[in-house]
Structure 1
């Protein structure tokens, strides 16, 4: 049986106005302000589990898997527009409205409708792509150009459980200071691998990466 990384949190799926099913975990208390936590690529909502005990005394906490990630719907999109930042932001607002919050604090991405915002390591997409003339920058962010290639090249390169796991583990490790997986719990790694290393979801992760460059 898989370890529950968020004991005491509810689980639900919220269907957005464009029929995308968003997986949500929440622990809400009437006397605490709402805090929405958004993961990055290639993680899921599970990335926040180590800091939840520190946040619980102060906030009503909402976690969600962005469209195409974790247990949320993998949207069919041939050009990346189905994963534009605008649509992802609309998902967030819709989810919080369904939970009866019209103002909230966000740790992650987006602006407006927010009481506070904490932005962690966000690189402007246009600036990122314009910087790839530098060899060192290209090596550090190889996945940006690789995953944005046209189908079926990247999908076939990382298709299947073994290749998908290797790519995911490498990508996660390169986002840490020690460049390894030592600080990831086995339960979190299991959740990431289950969410990522399946043949039918890989193409949607590629479309999701294209979506990071779509203003939509």
Structure 2
């Protein structure tokens, strides 16, 4: 039996030509969209979503190219750009009759959320990013031997072909590495959820690589255009990160502050998978955000 978020209703919603997203919706009240990260699916929000559904309409999709959502072939650099996936998010909310919504994302989902909030300030009322830096800044701070922690970014940034073959031929080992290395609380990722993440990732290797490839290309172009234009977030922003900024030699709060005039920045003792390792902490931060 497929895993699901208890009490949530599931459907497939078309958001673009030939692209439908798998989405779980629960609760009632002001809407908040929760976007998952790598190498996971919407199930990573199961604890947070259930709590927020007490007072919010909670919308948890699988991103384009991930989980049970459609995985279109990579036609060009825009197929899996953050801008394209952000447009998916807005179309999804509108299909559910929400013209405005709060938005929180983890890891890759936070980068999609970043672009959605920048491109659609009329739609996104609040934005939260979990354990990530903006794409443009991420590439700037990864220097020297410290960049070895992000080897997967460089692997998947290569032209189509090599990365897809290498990862597909060792998908369990590849994706398991991140589930193990990025958690401080392994019990927060029970065996059945780990298995679901590994299966979903193995089934999505080409689209996952295409997503990462866009981060080394068109996504940086879009971010730089905002920098050149002096654009910043128009809404309240909360960022929650591990304290890895100091280890890599930069001030994470200052990096985010350049983008977000109205910023609350927190560090957590949880590992990367903080929505599963410390869900109460994340719920409290998101409740505080939407109250701003």
**TM-score interval for Structure 1 and Structure 2 normalised by the shorter chain:** 0.7 to 0.9
2:62 is equivalent to residue 65 of structure 1: yes
Q: Among 80, 83, 86, which residue is 2:80 paired with? A: 83
Q: Tell me the number of residue pairs that the alignment of Structure 1 and Structure 2 aligns.
A: 206
Q: What's the C-alpha RMSD, in Å, of the aligned pairs?
A: 1.8
Partner SS, residue 13 of structure 2: strand
- Residue 197 of structure 2 corresponds to which residue in structure 1? 192
> In 2, Cα distance between the equivalents of 1:139 and 1:60?
40
Partner SS, residue 127 of structure 2: strand
> In 2, Cα distance between the equivalents of 1:85 and 1:167?
23
Give the structure with the higher percent helix.
2
User: Structure 1 segments of 4 or more deviating over 3 A?
Assistant: 130-133
- Residue 208 of structure 1 corresponds to which residue in structure 2? 211
> In 1, Cα distance between the equivalents of 2:50 and 2:137?
36
- Residue 179 of structure 2 corresponds to which residue in structure 1? 172
Partner SS, residue 130 of structure 2: coil
**1:149-168 superposed matches below 5 A:** 149-160=158-169, 163-168=170-175
Conservation of the 8 A alpha-carbon contact between 2:39 and 2:198? no
Q: TM-score, normalised by structure 2?
A: 0.66
Conservation of the 8 A alpha-carbon contact between 2:5 and 2:50? no
Conservation of the 8 A alpha-carbon contact between 1:83 and 1:212? no
- Residue 156 of structure 2 corresponds to which residue in structure 1? 147
**1:85-124 superposed matches below 5 A:** 85-108=82-105, 109=113, 110-111=116-117, 112=121, 113-124=123-134
> In 2, Cα distance between the equivalents of 1:196 and 1:104?
28
Conservation of the 8 A alpha-carbon contact between 2:24 and 2:60? yes
> In 2, Cα distance between the equivalents of 1:129 and 1:56?
36
* Alpha-carbon spacing, 1:79–1:134, altered in 2? closer, same or farther (3 Å): farther
1:173-197 deviation line (CA, Å, top 9, x unaligned): 232235xx43202232122122111
> In 1, Cα distance between the equivalents of 2:25 and 2:172?
28
> In 1, Cα distance between the equivalents of 2:77 and 2:183?
27
Q: Which has the higher contact order (CA 8 A, sep 6+)?
A: 1
Q: TM-score, normalised by structure 1?
A: 0.87
Ranges in structure 1 where 5+ consecutive residues have no aligned partner: none
